[in-house]
A = this chain, B = another copy of it.
């Protein structure tokens, strides 16, 4: 276990300095305040580096910008510089020459000490030092991984200024808090095209994530080509799968960006797609067909047949060669046991081996599969369920259950990563994910040595209701906030700062090629059809305060069970998981209430907002009559008007500075309960903030007190 050796960053740090500076760093710039170059600028960096020391002045970035590589060289570094310069050109519009320079006089001199491992591992040195002065910049790293990270930090530093583009003078000494910072993409429920995978790898690089966990198989599809078992993809998919060449290309693409690729083959459950072509290893008789619906399905591998292990030995062997990473994900979650219960031979097997439960039977299966993984030179990673007695010590537990589960494993010397809390398919806010810490919960009480067994975490992008068209907006920008959790010091927890920086990073990710912002408008236009510009504007206003329902509510609706055959072209598929407009509205309401509702400017802005909402439904209604995709959310549009009217009523009430009568308050709150109900899988988000206003207007001491 080499991964926790002291890195060069260890000796830098005056921790006190860091905290003081971070305060300045993380305070969002006050809107409109002119920048004074004598003061430290707020840096729009995400993730926040381990240590930032501001300098004075700034480095001009113009068309003469150049980069030179010194020290260790390899083609990956040349490619990284070329991509860096290309990205710099894209984000500035400057005509930057996209070739590395030989000159020591280059604007940015990049020094890399030595190579990283041939196959990127979890214990690599990813640290770097970036020094920017008005005369030039220097990036120093032990390995190309640090170099890659430092280049991304530099790109984030470049900003438009009063006399051109520039990067502020600064010294950054940086290294990650956790060595395993992942994003899982489920290519099974909905096939995610390779160009979409690639641009998300670009996004991962921009946020310093270093593990792409590729969920390749599930009940709804087997998405990777097997040459040994061609019926896996041939019968176990709808024709959409990745060829081995495509996989190799994607792995090379990821490696160029400092990203490991960990493949997952789900077993013994979530395997229906395997059984379509190979029913002989299933616990129940076939024939099987690919699942269209979502949920925990009954079919499972038969863990009692030797034929099963022969099959898995060959398959894992083939895939272990295809995927060079040391870790091999064997799934393991959500086996309901029904298939095993229904098979008399399996019951006999359990009896013969003295297994009292299906969990014990699964443990047997896990042990045997883990041995196969070991045989093929890999270490197994899997969901909580693979943590069974006698498991090899080199496994990694990916916890969907939570940090307590990780802590329990760590106490027994097992490593783990956290995914509970990072399920971005649940449509939570960035803030809700952001507060989750891999060392939270019971893990907070671990010894320092045990804590080191918590390697980091992974966000999980399950794709029941996500396609290649809208996946970017489900992953980004929220994953950037989670990436900060994985990289930055644990003290970096300020939510307003996170949102201020997230907004800027989100815009910049568009220059990386991600479509999380642009696709939203395109999908709204589709919903709008032949709408007039006024109708499009009304739809945009409406959609801007909607969010998809949270958790797995959508899956509970019968009309949404058939995930692979139901088009994802509804408003719920277009709107981002988190409404920026609603969040900002909530902040405005909080600010207004915090002034005892005396802030006239805030009151005026609230009034304008409420008026626009009140009047919006009338503008949208003609379109709702023509477009079924608008019609299905028509009640929510009426609700938005009602909410606007209620807000105006509250604003009219507040100047009385008297507590509102109980009857009035009760009527408002009853209405609010109605407005909170989802429709077309959509929530009207600002309802909660208006509720706060109603309560403030009714409560002595907040807005129901005479002016001082």
Show the binding face of A for B, using Cβ within 8 Å. 29, 31-35, 44, 63, 91-95, 159-164, 469, 503-504, 507, 510-511, 517-518, 521-523, 525-530, 532-535, 565-569, 573, 580, 584, 621-622, 625-629, 631
A628→B518 contact, CB < 8 A:
no
Residues of B within 8 A of A35 (CB): 625-626
Q: How far is the CA of A31 from the CA of B532 in the complex (A)?
A: 6
Contact of A522 among B511, B530, B533 (CB under 8 A): B511
**Cβ of A619 to closest chain B Cβ, rounded Å:** 8
**Cβ of A567 to closest chain B Cβ, rounded Å:** 5
B503→A525 contact, CB < 8 A:
no
Q: List 7 A-B contacts (CB under 8 A).
A: A34-B622, A35-B626, A160-B627, A162-B627, A162-B631, A511-B522, A511-B526
Q: How far is the CA of A525 from the CA of B622 in the complex (A)?
A: 33
B626→A163 contact, CB < 8 A:
no
Q: From known contacts A63-B565, A92-B569, infer whether A622 and B33 are also in contact, taking CB-CB under 8 Å.
A: yes
Q: How far is the CA of A87 from the CA of B188 in the complex (A)?
A: 23
A526→B91 contact, CB < 8 A:
yes
Residues of B within 8 A of A629 (CB): 160
B507→A628 contact, CB < 8 A:
no
Residues of B within 8 A of A628 (CB): 160-164
What is the oligomeric copy number? Answer: 2
B568→A523 contact, CB < 8 A:
no
Q: How far is the CA of A584 from the CA of B160 in the complex (A)?
A: 32
A526→B92 contact, CB < 8 A:
yes
Q: How far is the CA of A627 from the CA of B4 in the complex (A)?
A: 43
Residues of B within 8 A of A533 (CB): 503, 580, 584
B625→A34 contact, CB < 8 A:
yes
Q: How far is the CA of A44 from the CA of B525 in the complex (A)?
A: 15
**Cβ of A73 to closest chain B Cβ, rounded Å:** 22
A158 (CB) vs chain B CBs: closest residue: B529
A522→B510 contact, CB < 8 A:
yes
Q: From known contacts A63-B567, A526-B92, infer whether A622 and B31 are also in contact, taking CB-CB under 8 Å.
A: yes
Residues of B within 8 A of A530 (CB): 29, 44, 159-160, 504
Q: From known contacts A35-B626, A533-B584, A584-B533, infer whether A95 and B567 are also in contact, taking CB-CB under 8 Å.
A: yes
Q: How far is the CA of A532 from the CA of B44 in the complex (A)?
A: 12
Interface centre among A29, A31, A580, A621 (most CB of B within 10 A): A31
A160→B93 contact, CB < 8 A:
no
Which A-B residue pairs are the 5 nearest by beta carbons? A93-B569, A32-B622, A160-B529, A518-B518, A31-B532
A623 (CB) vs chain B CBs: closest residue: B32
A93→B469 contact, CB < 8 A:
yes
A524 (CB) vs chain B CBs: closest residue: B507
B507→A626 contact, CB < 8 A:
no
Interface centre among A31, A511, A525, A529 (most CB of B within 10 A): A529
Q: From known contacts A530-B29, A530-B504, infer whether A161 and B521 are also in contact, taking CB-CB under 8 Å.
A: no
Q: How far is the CA of A523 from the CA of B511 in the complex (A)?
A: 9
Q: From known contacts A44-B530, A580-B533, infer whether A34 and B94 are also in contact, taking CB-CB under 8 Å.
A: no
**Cβ of A565 to closest chain B Cβ, rounded Å:** 7
**Cβ of A358 to closest chain B Cβ, rounded Å:** 36
B93→A526 contact, CB < 8 A:
yes
Interface centre among A33, A63, A530 (most CB of B within 10 A): A530
